[in-house]
Amino acid sequence: MQLGNLIDFEVEGEDGRFLPRLRSLSHLGFEWMYDRNRLMLWHNFIQKFEPHLKDADELDPFYFDLLLDAAKRWHLQNPKRIVCESYIRLLDFEGRLYPEEHCYICEGRIEEEIALMQAFKPAHPYCIYAAALPTKKILDFFKSKKTVFLEDHEVDILFDTVMKGF
Ligand SMILES: [Zn+2]
């Protein structure tokens, strides 16, 4: 199977509305498609769009532009950072960003350490038994939509949260 076809297939979904534009995307032939690790990460990333968008009546160009922007940068930096930065833009676009300093579970104030649930909902690390991240850095990331001030191991935690689903 050709790499381009693999990408098409993964985003086709049940009705294929996402397909035509993504097919043109894959035909641009990004060089990272021959990098096994980057291709696998791309595959994992776009797979999350299918269940998320399959019930949408109309697909806003935002999603295509977001993926095109990600694809253009995919070979330039750690793709996990691109996933996190793309996802935070998606949450913001969909009005699902909770830049709160209160825990989604217990509603108590979050102090120095924060943990993120699915959809990056803030919580106390002990309320969701999840890895602790520095609150200030995470709230800055929510504002700037950039991971530049986050360490790689912090990005790994955010990436794993994104991979739980949009
Ligand atoms: Zn809590």
Residues lining ion ligand 1 (Cβ < 5 A) are: 103, 105-106, 108, 124, 127
pLDDT of residue 82: 97
- Spacing, Cα 113 to ligand 1 middle (Å): 11
CA 140 to centroid of ligand 1, rounded, Å = 20
Element (H, E) at 101: none
Q: Tell me the per-residue pLDDT of 3-36, one tens digit each, with 9 for 90 and over.
A: 443 444 344 444 555 554 555 565 667 888 888 8
101 CA from centroid of ligand 1 (Å): 10
How far is the centre of ligand 1, averaged over its atoms, from the C-alpha of 104 (Å)? Answer: 7
Which residue has better confidence, 105 or 60? 105
Question: What local confidence, expressed as pLDDT, does residue 2 receive?
Answer: 37
pTM of the model: 0.85
Question: Rounded to the nearest whole angstrom, what is the distance from the C-alpha of residue 109 to the centroid of ligand 1?
Answer: 8
Distance CA 46, CA 67 (A): 8
Determine the pLDDT at residue 57: 74
> What is the predicted pLDDT for the residue at 25?
61
Domain locations in the chain as residue ranges:
1-76, 97-166
Nearest-angstrom CA–CA distance, 1 and 5: 7
Per DSSP (E only), the strands in the chain are 113-116, 122-123, 133-134
- Please tell me the predicted confidence (pLDDT) of residue 4: 42
- Mean pLDDT computed over 74-101: 95
Ligand 1 centroid to Cα of residue 144, in Å, is 25
Distances (CA, A) of 113 to 67, 99, 120, 155: 31, 14, 14, 15
pLDDT tens figures, 124-162: 999 999 999 999 999 999 999 999 999 999 999 999 999
* Structure tokens that stand for 58 in this block: 């109309």
Residue 135 Cα to ligand 1 midpoint, Å, equals 13
Q: Which amino acid is at 98?
A: Y
When pLDDT is cut at 50, 70 and 90, the band that residue 95 belongs to is very high
CA distance 89 to 105: 24
Residues paired with 133 in a beta bridge: 114
pLDDT tens digits for range 76-85:
999 999 999 9
Residue 100 · residue 119 · CB < 8 Å = no
121 CA → ligand 1 middle, Å: 11
User: Cβ of 80: how many Cβ atoms within 10 Å?
Assistant: 19
pLDDT digits (tens, 9 = 90+) for 36-75: 899 889 888 988 887 888 777 777 888 888 988 998 899 9
